[in-house]
Structure 1
């Protein structure tokens, strides 16, 4: 193996390097979960998920600001988190998606049967999401630790 191959595998990441060496056929993201590669039911892209998070955080901040009648900004951000978590718990628990996810065509489903997530799992997911760190730890299918521990997956509608 010459130096260009080594550098190329390093820049492409471990997934590409493993596939190039024939060690593993990882396939597309979501393949090992039994999800289709594209279209409805396929794994939600990180861009759409972050977009939905931005939308959800924006309206949560507006609601918190309105509830506090424009009091101190640092207090508003704390209440925005509370609003965000309550809305997430209620909407994912009932219709399977937050308003931001719904606008971007995403849904949170149970990995077992791709149906609605049981309420206790939605609660676990929401608590972990509120801690933020689990949501920042992803696996090779781009599922956050909060989704992994709650048995959830975010798919395209």
Structure 2
């Protein structure tokens, strides 16, 4: 089961603001690049400024939409749980046999591993309530199957 995350839910600037600022940057760079009043020595700076604006637009779209496929997700299988927060970030992998206990809260999962380490999976970025319910129900089913301790502050309010 793969559930898509929304990286803009915890971003300092929303996707819309990032997109507007980037489009403003591109239009400003294009205006500088195609204006009549330029000196010959500054041309390469205008091209660099325009290229960086295009690259940043690509980054914003890649990071915040699923145009190029799902980039931010939580995946739960019978062998592992993976959480990935975007294209340029590392995956966080937890193997199911290593889990000793799971504590479910309304917007997070706290996994305690058999070696005593704790892993916190933030669920604030899950796009839909239905997906949040699917994740929690899958963890409950896996607790029965793999015999790890489960505590739940959510109860049956899901």
Query: Shorter-chain TM-score category?
Result: under 0.3
TM-score by length of 2: 0.25
TM-score by length of 1: 0.26
Q: Please tell me whether Structure 1 or Structure 2 has the larger radius of gyration of its CA atoms.
A: 2
Structure with greater proportional strand content: 2
